[in-house]
Amino acid sequence: MSPASLNILLTGGSGYIGSHTAVVLQQAGHRVFIYDNFCNSDPAVGHTLQAITGHPFTVIEGDVRDTALLQQTLGENAIDAVIHFAGLKAVGESAIIPIDYYANNVQGTISLLQAMQAASHQPKTLVFSSSATVYGDPQYLPIDESHPTAATNPYGRTKLHIEEILTDLSKADASWRIACLRYFNPVGAHPSGLIGENPNGLPNNLMPFVAQVAVGKLKELNVFGNDYETPDGTGVRDYIHVMDLAEGHLAAVSYLNDAVQAHQGMHTFNLGTGRGYSVMEMVQAFEAASGKSVPFHIAPRRAGDIASCYASTALATRELGWSAKRDLKDMCESSWRFQQHTNTGA
């Protein structure tokens, strides 16, 4: 049974996944408060979200390492639950400036937990954005939640450290309700085309790169390796529509606060589709959705890449009653709509 309307704080809520989740939560009847320092997002997101939903959003500018401001925000807005998206997420950059990653991601989470404990009403419902990167090189497929963890870069290690901190906290104080969501590869955009993923500089990830080639911003895609042990030799990943991912957060909040059976403790779920697509399949699907050609050439493998990665989604389906609904066509079409809007304002 779903909980009543809650006041939910989204740290990093103006970013890619947070903004889509804000829409889904608001439309499900919750009150959404966004807390972000805008280091990787647009302060105008509140206006865009209002344009999509017809409702105003409260957007607070702040850093998650500012414990006092967080505590004040939690108290003033009677926050019931927090979804913690805020963090730095570029794998390559994390190897160059690891301390910034640990400070922002790990210290930021500790600051948030301290603020939640210090707030007079002590909200103890937390959903955390983790990543499939914590599984490292897969030992078997599909990857379920009991697969061993072994991060291969500082970004992934920040996620693992945070997961350990949350596990310790839930053991020390059983009244916490924590969902740790391990996302596979989020792609796509809101159907309005008004919000989506808009990385600064050259995109690191496949989908935004392909979209920028299709729109003519970039010349061609480098396909990183075609000699993997996969059906067509290119890397296989579990791409999940960001709207499905957003709905996964709604399901997690409902699960933790279920009116019949509240779920205390720490609960870890994969959020993926359970289906893998290769780089070449993604290129073809994007060409079909956009009507544009996506020139590419085969480049050497990217260091640190794995051949295949896709999720077992059985646990999320059983416990959360959630599963991804949108297909690859929808992922590509929505991403293309957003790309065109971003480029032309159309």
> Of residues 8, 10, 17, 331, which one binds ligand NAD by CB under 6 A?
17
**Bridge partner list, 311:** 143
> Of residues 222, 264, 317, 340, which one binds ligand UD1 by CB under 6 A?
222
Strands 239-241 and 185-187: parallel
Stretch of residues binding ligand UD1 (CB under 6 A), selected from 9-17, 70-78, 201-209, 266-274: 201-209
> Of residues 235, 248, 272, 276, which one binds ligand UD1 by CB under 6 A?
235
Which 79-118 residues touch ligand UD1, going by CB under 6 A?
91
Closest to ligand UD1 by CB, 69 vs 91, is 91
Closest to ligand NAD by CB, 108 vs 142, is 108
Stretch of residues binding ligand UD1 (CB under 6 A), selected from 137-145, 215-223, 260-268, 287-295: 215-223
Give the position of tokens 């991912």: 245
Q: If residue 223 lies in a helix (H) or strand (E), which one and from where to where?
A: strand 221-224
User: Judging by beta carbons within 10 Å of its beta carbon (0-12, 13-18, 19+), is residue 136 exposed, middle or buried?
Assistant: middle
Give the position of tokens 């808009």: 198
Which 175-214 residues touch ligand NAD, going by CB under 6 A?
183, 186
205 binds ligand UD1 (CB under 6 A): yes
Structure tokens at 165: 């901190």
> Of residues 204, 264, 284, 340, which one binds ligand UD1 by CB under 6 A?
204
Which 265-324 residues touch ligand UD1, going by CB under 6 A?
279, 302, 304-305
CA 257 – CA 267 distance, rounded (Å): 13
Structure tokens at 74: 């939690």
DSSP 320: I
Give the Cα-Cα-Cα angle 217, 43, 210 (nearest 5 degrees).
20
CB 280 within 8 A of CB 210: no
Give the position of tokens 């790990």: 106
CA 244 – CA 238 distance, rounded (Å): 13
- Work out the end-to-end distance of the chain between its first and last CA atoms, rounded to an integer number of angstroms: 41
Closest to ligand UD1 by CB, 115 vs 243, is 243
Report the phi/psi class of residue 265: left, alpha or beta, with left for phi > 0 and alpha for psi in -120 to 50: left
Give residue 295's Cα distance to chain centre.
Answer: 28
Which 70-109 residues touch ligand NAD, going by CB under 6 A?
85-89, 104, 108
Minimum CB separation from ligand UD1 for residue 316, in Å? 17
CA 246 – CA 249 distance, rounded (Å): 5
Stretch of residues binding ligand UD1 (CB under 6 A), selected from 7-15, 22-30, 47-55, 217-225: 217-225
39 binds ligand NAD (CB under 6 A): yes
> Of residues 237, 249, 267, 337, which one binds ligand UD1 by CB under 6 A?
237
Residues labelled catalytic:
155
> Of residues 3, 18, 46, 274, which one binds ligand NAD by CB under 6 A?
18
Closest to ligand UD1 by CB, 7 vs 284, is 284
Kindly report the backbone phi and psi dihedral angles of residue 221, in degrees, each rounded to the nearest multiple of 5, phi listed first.
Answer: -90, 135
> Of residues 58, 110, 224, 317, which one binds ligand UD1 by CB under 6 A?
224
CB 19 within 8 A of CB 47: no
Closest to ligand NAD by CB, 16 vs 322, is 16
> Of residues 41, 257, 312, 335, which one binds ligand NAD by CB under 6 A?
41
Which residues of the chain form contacts with ligand NAD (CB under 6 A)? 11-12, 14-18, 36-41, 63-65, 85-89, 104, 108, 129, 131, 183, 186
